[in-house]
Structure formats: structure tokens, C-alpha cells
Structure 1
């Protein structure tokens, strides 16, 4: 049974297009979605369906052409919310140590040095990076850099964390480790997450609800409650009948959209 949550994000009839005239492309159309406080929403859809456009609007890096985006019931332009953004490629500053990178969001907010150091060190330890805090990004593996990228987005405790395929470039073992760590941190911090992925099984592993988007122009085709208790045993969750049912149901919904998108991607 799902836990009732106060709405944090509301998209009401949101659309976004790019270009003009014959070159106009409608990226997303008539998006309606509510994300509750402390909820992890995972989003899947074919390439080019507007998933990144959705994240950019939530990050307030872009604005919808139509419809309304609200945070805690207020129009986005008037809302006072902190937003973290994690991309697929790490964006650590190459000239700063791992610790200095993670401290950076607190530094620009004027948090005292001792306090930001304590918070950053605690998060680095939680993701297995204690002892690497004085390394530069070039001295770290890809998985280690991405862990640093994620804790940098979490260290100042934003209201929302947006993740655009953060584990997409990682090997299978590192990816599983990252999924576990993200699940544990988000559960403890009650973090609200909107997580984009191309991996349907990852969407079910991590999400409270899974959103399936249509081929462009992207709209919401299906939303399903995962309904698997937390904390989740990621080693054995695949054996659960509910997991297997969701994989089948969601793929049935997604497959047609992938096939629809294929000619557009090829062109």
C-alpha cells in the first residue's frame, strides 16, 4: 500500500516545443504528473521523447510553452525550492579535490568551513569514498567520480534531485553498487527524486512509481506504482512475482513507443 505524500511537484498540461514554422518540433505535450514529497519517480521512454526536456523544465533551466509547473502549490517562478541535478557524465571540477568538489555547493551558500567539511566527509564515507577525499577527479575511476557527483548534489539537502541516466555509463557491478547506495541515502534523507533511465529494470528497482512516456511528442502513457516494500533486496528482487509482472506490463507499454520512435531516430 502506498504512503500518502504531500505534493511537491505538479505538472498540469505542460507542453514545450522548439523552433518555428516548418522547423518547429514539439518535444513534450500535455504532461500531467504529481510527485510527492520524498517520492522517487523513475521515467522511461524511447530516445527523443522529451525526458531531458522534462528535467530541464523541472530544473527551471527551461520553461513550458503551455500549461503550468508548480512547486508546493506555487507557480515555479514564485517557488523557493532547492534543486540538485545529476547528469550521466560527472561534472566535477578537475582542479578541485573530491572533497572540495563535494563541499562546493555548501561553500557558495556560505556554510562555515567546519560544518561543510563534516557534512561532505560523512557523505563520502557513506558511499565508500573515505580515504579518497584529497584525490583529484583524474585520479579516480568513473564510478568513483559519479559517486562524488551524486553526493555533491545531495550534500546541501535540496528539495528535489533530478537525475538524467546517472548510471548509464557504468559497468554492471558498479551500477548495482550505485543503485544500492542511492536507495539507502534517499530512504534516510527522504529525498525527492525524478530519475531518468533507459533501463526498465532499474526503473522498477529504484522507483516508487514508474512513468512510461510516449514517442515524441512525449506525453505520459502509463504510470504504475511499484508496490514492493523498502528497503529492497536488489540481489533478489528480480525473483519476486510483482517485479516480473511489472517488467512485462511496462515493456508491453514501452515497446510500441520504441518502435514508433525508431524511424524518427534513424532519420
Structure 2
């Protein structure tokens, strides 16, 4: 829009004509001096165009800008609300973590069958199974010990192999907002970032029983029933530490390192004080 030489009236400075303007400023020559105004805002209250055709076109420009300003304000308000909600969630999480007493065995190891192995690394969740007897028969098991400090360790073994050949195939921190005692459907979702899959070659170097032993049968490698078991926080730290050393791909190694450090921080474990693995395989 070209407004040069167009006549205007200002409620304080009187009549004048436009000498310069761009998308953000307009300069008007009045009887005694030049004045600069914000464009097109000045035409909302202070300036009035004499040329009706130009004034009509200007109204459309002003209307368009007002719509854009409203959109920007709405976006700003949405962002403020998002930040407020995020801060509230962060505060609630910090409060929960501060008041939460860490269970020394708040990690969970899963036995993944063939069907689960085919989808666990795409869906990134595991199912705890259902209760077999009692009043709650048929309802999903609640992973009550799991919290934001917990890892789900994924293991598997071929049907024709013995239990000592069970291998670790992956691991993930539970979802950022996950609290096991509130889990009604039995599904444990993965953290948005901290999740690892091992290659077949890597898995062959990570025997599960190198790290795990059953208190009731400390010299036996037995897993006869159930989809999962709880196990020691330090054992999980040992496993994650060894996975870091195992990874050769730069990106995968960095992810494994970040997961390990995040895990140690949440579980208040000093990596310098980690003992050596002492599972059943290490004592044979």
C-alpha cells in the first residue's frame, strides 16, 4: 500500500501529509514539524486518512494485523500455560522423589517369550501378566515396587537351551510419570529416551546369571514360574555399566552412558563404589 502524499488528520497536530512509510513506521509532515508513528497502529486512534479508498484498504491491513496479534497472544498464553503445567509436574515429581523411600530391590527382570521379543522393541512396553488365584484372579499384576528409579530388564532364552543360557536382550527405564502402585492395566511403558536394545552378538556377552542369584537357592539357576522378578538396584547398575563398555556404536554408547548415569543418580549409587558382579555363574 502506497500512502505517500496522502492527507491525514491527527487529533492533536491537525492536518498533514504522509512523507515516508514502511511496514512498521509512518512519517507525517504537519504544519510545523514531522512526526513518526507506529504503522498501522497509529490509524486505530490518532490518525485518520482523508482518502476513503485508501482508508478502506488500510482497514483490511489493520484487521489482518489484529488477527495476527491475537494469534501471537494466544500462542504466548498457551506457552505460559504449558510452562506452568510443566513446572507443576516437575514440582510434584520432585516432591514424590523426595518423599519416596527407595526400595533396595526396585528393579524388574522379565522373561520375554518369542512373541514378546518380536514386539517389545517396537512397542517399548511389557505386560506383567495376570493374577492366577484368589479374589483378584484374572486381574493384571501390579508392579508395586516400580518407580521412576526403576529399570525393566529384558531377558530371553531359547526353548532348547538350559536356564544358565538366559541372555540379557535389552533394558529401559520406566516412563517418567510411572508409579507402579497406580498401574491398573499391567503394562509398564518405557522412558521416552532411556531405552536400549542389544544386538545378538552383544546379548551373547551378557548372561543374566552372571549378575543374579536367588536368595532362597543361591547356587541354583532356576526360573520355573512367573513372567518377572524383582531384583537388586546395584545389580542393575552393574548390568548397565557393562552394557556401556559393550557398545561400540558412538550414538548407542552415549545413550547407554546417559542411561547408566541417570539410573545411578536416581538410585543414589556411586559408580566408583560398585562391586564386581557376583551372580551364580561367577561362583561356579
Structure-1-length-normalised TM-score? 0.24
**Which of structures 1 and 2 has the bigger CA Rg?**
2
